[in-house]
Chain A
Amino acid sequence: MKAALGAVRRSFQPWADPAAKPFITFRGVTKRFGQFVAVDNQTLEIFEREFHALLGPSGCGKTTLLRMLAGFETPSEGDILLEDKPLAGVPPHRRPVNMMFQSYALFPHMSVEANVAFGLKQDKLPKSEIGDRVADVLKLVKMEAFARRKPDQLSGGQRQRVALARAIAKRPKVLLLDEPLGALDKKLREETQFELINLQETLGLTFVIVTHDQEEAMTMADRISVMDHGRIVQVASPAEIYERPKSRYVADFIGSVNIFEAEVDNVTPERIHLATTDGFDVACDADIAAAKGQTVWFAVRPEKVRISHAAPADAGINAVAGEVWDIAYFGDMTLFNVRLDSGRIVRASAMNAARIVEQPITWEDRVWLSWSADAGVVLLD
């Protein structure tokens, strides 16, 4: 994956501060639909002004989590707290939370303008202020020219922008966005992502965004919760999720990765030594508690694997030989699929820094793959 990790916008890390109070807390929340467990005893803390992304495959419970926060579903077990106050029993219309629905849920009988003004009208704001605020948000989503249209006279992307405008018009404390940008084209999506980040910083809102677009989560979020079958499997910053995934599932879900099954050979204070089932040895910077003889997994991302014709200096460790099986040229980089003697295909990518490569690696070449001790991670799960 060539997605940027997202510019580090600010040093905003309240989750690292033990004294910081969470803004939203899910405490042991379970949601069952009949026998089916959609969210399974999950605890999650989201901080004020955080941009939090829920990332996961379809049906993993992202929308359900949002709907419980908005008040449309009641947790079967557990509590949801907003600023330390339990939300149980507070009806949706009294929660300072606005949601942008996955299906948009625009009112078909009202114009774009009236849709956006709806929430403000419920607050009984003066007419002139409603008019101003509506004009402002419509401008923000570039829909001012469509103010008089009805939702069914709009394209999918336009509807999505109206739904977004309607949700942000009230400037809620918490904005819940369920796949807000899915129907937009790439350019508009990037623009809107930028606007959303701007909006969040200027208004100081807390965002919880659902997406299954990992690139979107990576570029926008302060932290990402990766979900799987009703469980949050890892909560961390985008860089940490990418560089230090906690499990094979997370490593595999975000970006592309090579995973090898291995047995722990030896553990020293600095290093952990593994013998992979593919017949090569690995020495990895240890940051994990593993016992000798335990089965673990070694994961290394393609861009951290070097590819060369010549054997590396210390060929006995962190290196393996194979045959070039396939090459994909992307312009800025080239992706090699290398077949090990064990039969496993390993991916390695190389930046194309120079225009002419001196020793071009080509199909069926015998090559060496190698990586440094801090390139990969050891996964217990």
Chain B
Amino acid sequence: MGERKTLGPRIATWIPYAWLIIFFLAPFLIVFKISLSEPTLAVPPYAPVFESLADIWVKIGALSFANYTWLAEDALYIKAYGSSLWIAFVSTILAFLIGYPIAYGMARAPRGLRPILLMMVILPFWTSFLIRVYAWIGILKPEGLLNQFLFFVGVIDQPLTIINTNIAVYIGIVYSYLPFMVLPLYASLERMDETLLEAAADLGSTPLKTFWQVTFPLSLPGVFAGALLVFIPAVGEFVIPDLLGGSETLMIGRTLWNEFFFNRDWPVASAVAIVLLALLVVPIVIFQNAQARMRETR
């Protein structure tokens, strides 16, 4: 702390903090405040928690956590959280299983080919996310491309019902978030020193053993980063379950939407959002710990 810094670097270090305060902490506090209020039929549709500064001490003792107890009591919310976490978890695993070989193949491709492969991974971002999800409806619906193809090949004689099921949601999430898995994996695999693989082979390790003993452990930071980048947005995903999922698909993003726009119960919706955030802090903390430990040990 005693170290003196010139003004330039000090401002530079404050920019990210300022960004976080303005665009993250402030909205968070606003949402948190709403979540503690009572719903009213007004614009905005919630009763203010504090009217004036003098009011604060009076009100603070009587703050209403009713919206949170409400969430805990209603099985619907708990189920929605549970099922969101589960769907996100399974999607993350699937994205990892598909993404790792892709990233590995890219990292081991001839040097000149790698930028092209990288381009192909990023290319879908050039099209609107919404359009790409709509496109999946066209592929997955009963008379869609997939069923037509399977008919043509002769694998099925009844159309598969994929659209409006959880399977469609998994497909949608894995498809949409795969680049977020592939890119950090690729970065960590590409950075790896190839003489390490030679050293392992030289010491008698077969290529498969080398993968598990050297390549995979060294790609773990990429695995964690990729998993978080898929898991966190997937938990709160709204568009994919809404467009591809069915009535059985219970996800917290949809619940949130319903509370805000159908029930117009902003306080409960805010509480849902706050709890979601709290839930997501857990994997982030785990990730940060793992990373810190890894940095310590290297």
A residues neighboring B (CB under 8 Å): 70-72, 91-95, 97-99, 101, 103, 105-109, 118-119, 122-123, 150, 152, 166, 170
Residues of B within 8 A of A (CB): 193, 195-196, 198-207, 209, 213-214, 217-218, 294, 297-298
Assuming the A-B contacts A93-B206, A122-B209, A150-B297, are A105 and B199 also in contact, with contact meaning beta carbons closer than 8 angstroms in the complex? yes
The distance in angstroms between the C-alpha atoms of A95 and B205, with both chains bound, is 11
Q: Which residues of B contact A70 (CB under 8 A)?
A: 198, 202
A-B pairs, 6 with minimum CB distance:
A119-B203, A122-B204, A105-B199, A92-B201, A105-B195, A93-B201
The answer to whether B298 touches A109 (Cβ under 8 A) is yes
- Contacts A92-B202, A93-B204, A109-B297 supplied; 15 other A-B pairs, CB < 8 Å: A72-B198, A93-B201, A95-B202, A97-B202, A98-B202, A99-B199, A101-B195, A101-B199, A105-B193, A108-B298, A109-B217, A109-B298, A166-B199, A166-B203, A170-B203
CA distance A166 to B199 in the complex (A): 10
Is there an interface contact between B298 and A150, defined as CB atoms closer than 8 Å? yes
Q: Give the docked Cα–Cα distance between A71 and B203 (Å).
A: 12
Q: Which residues of A contact B214 (CB under 8 A)?
A: 107
Identify the interface centre among B198, B207, B218: most chain A CB within 10 Å of its CB. Answer: B198
Distance in angstroms between the alpha carbons of A150 and B294 in the assembled complex: 11
Assuming the A-B contacts A109-B217, A109-B297, A150-B297, are A101 and B198 also in contact, with contact meaning beta carbons closer than 8 angstroms in the complex? Answer: yes
Selected from A93, A103, A109, A152, the residue in CB contact (under 8 A) with B202 is A93
User: A119 contacts B204, CB within 8 Å?
Assistant: yes
Assess whether B298 is in contact with A152, with CB atoms less than 8 Å apart.
yes
* CB neighbours of B294 from chain A (8 A): 109
Nearest-neighbour CB distance to chain B for A46, whole angstroms, equals 18
Chain B residues, Cβ within 8 Å of A103 = 193, 195
B226 to chain A, nearest CB (A): 18
What would 8 A/B residue contacts be, using CB atoms closer than 8 Å? A93-B205, A95-B202, A108-B218, A118-B205, A119-B204, A122-B203, A123-B204, A152-B298
Q: What is the minimal beta-carbon distance from B291 to any residue of chain A, in angstroms?
A: 13
Give, as a whole number of angstroms, the nearest-CB distance from B207 to chain A: 8
B195 (CB) vs chain A CBs: closest residue: A105
Q: B199 to chain A: which residues have CB within 8 Å?
A: 99, 101, 105-107, 166
Given contacts A92-B198, A105-B195, A105-B199, contact A170 B204 (CB under 8 A): yes
A152 and B298 CA atoms in complex are apart in Å by: 6
Cα distance, A71 to B207, chains bound together (Å): 14
Q: Which residues of A contact B209 (CB under 8 A)?
A: 122
Interface centre among A97, A105, A166 (most CB of B within 10 A): A105
Residues of B within 8 A of A119 (CB): 203-204
Interface centre among A91, A92, A94 (most CB of B within 10 A): A92
Which residues of chain B come closer than 8 Å to A118, judged between CB atoms? 200, 203, 205, 213
Query: B215 CB to closest chain A CB, in angstroms?
Result: 11
Contacts of B195 in A (CB 8 A): 101, 103, 105
The answer for the CA separation of A166 and B294 in the assembled complex, in Å, is 23
Could you say which residues of chain B place their CB within 8 Å of the CB of A71?
201
Among B193, B204, B206, B214, the one with the most A-chain Cβ atoms within 10 Å of its Cβ is: B204
Return B238 CB to nearest CB of chain A, in Å.
Answer: 39
Q: Report Cα–Cα, A337/B259, bound state, in Å.
A: 96
CA distance A150 to B297 in the complex (A): 7
Tell me the smallest distance from the CB of A80 to a CB of chain B, in Å.
15
- Note all chain A residues with C-beta closer than 8 A to B298: 108-109, 150, 152
Residues from chain B with a CB closer than 8 A to the CB of A99 are: 199, 202
Query: Which interface residue of A101, A106, A108, A123 has the most chain B CB atoms within 10 A?
Result: A108
Q: How far is the CB of B208 from chain A (nearest CB, A)?
A: 10
B198: chain A residues at CB < 8 Å are: 70, 72, 92, 101, 105
Least CB distance from A184 to B in Å reads 20
B74 CB, min distance to chain A CBs, angstroms: 46
Q: Which residues of B contact A95 (CB under 8 A)?
A: 202
For residue B213, which residue of chain A has the nearest CB? A118
